[in-house]
Amino acid sequence: MVDNTLFTKKKSSNLIIVQIYVDDIIFGSTYQDMCDEFSKIMYDKFKMSMMGELNFFLGLQIKQIEDGIFFNQSKYIKEMFKKFGLEDSKPMKTPMSSDTKLTKDEECESVDSTKYRGMIGLWYPKKTSIETVVYADSDHAGDYVDRKSTRGIFTFMGCFLTSWFSKKQTALAISTTEAEYVSARKACEQVLWMKQALIDYDVRLDDVPIMCDNKGVIDLSKSPVQHSRTKHIEICHHFLRDNVQKGHISIEKVLSV
């Protein structure tokens, strides 16, 4: 299993899933008797208290009714609005201008980089499709100080964003194709990890498309032919091509903005 705090057990067509977080345990099953059996085993082995039906966990407020299970973070949202002084704010498409060019400030004090991530939340509505699509992109030599490129990778399940990150690449890319090829390779690693993690929950994803707007990347991922513009690319990045050939992922064209 990818997650060593996750435990599952199957009995015929039924499944119980147990998730541990520090000293808290949550569990659920498709069959009530499996929950009762697990509760008895835990009571017999350990000194513990049963909190009953799950209604609050790690900041999530949970409501279970006949129509489904509903999650909300109203308490968390109100706390975040107050913490960041956003009670009277107006909605914006993006927290900052996408055209802003950043340079390194050697004299400024370090800031808490986790605050921005703390302002961004996730929403997982019920009946969300598990159809997964990943978008990978990169600029070329966008950092004006060291001329390294910055990649961005975004994962959608259905039409909902479930994971995202942007990070500067560790090596200089000679071309746009190389920068975006490296980004697509990182996206491939993310896809393979996600596919393996979801298997633990008895969810299996087939071929996951990685969307890319660079034709050179798409051609390079499907063909082993090398020429003067790509032969310098490190072998490790051809991990992408290998997984395309195995059918684990596909690289598909998406239009540029």
Hey, what domains does the chain have and what are their CATH numbers? 128-257 (3.30.420.10)
| Averaged pLDDT of the chain | 83
Confidence of residue 254 (pLDDT cuts 50, 70, 90): very high
Helices 215-222 and 176-199 pack at an angle, to 10 degrees, of: 60
CA distances from 87 to 77, 83, 91, 119 (A): 10, 9, 11, 13
Query: Position 129: which residue type?
Result: S
Residue 226 has pLDDT above 90, yes or no: no
Quick: pLDDT tens for 51-88: 888 888 877 888 887 777 777 778 878 888 888 888 88
The residue ranking higher by pLDDT, 96 or 59, is: 59
The whole-model pTM stands at: 0.65
* Nearest CA among 114, 124, 136 for reference residue 160: 124
Cβ atoms of residues 151 and 137 within 8 Å: yes
* Nearest CA among 123, 128, 138, 146 for reference residue 185: 138
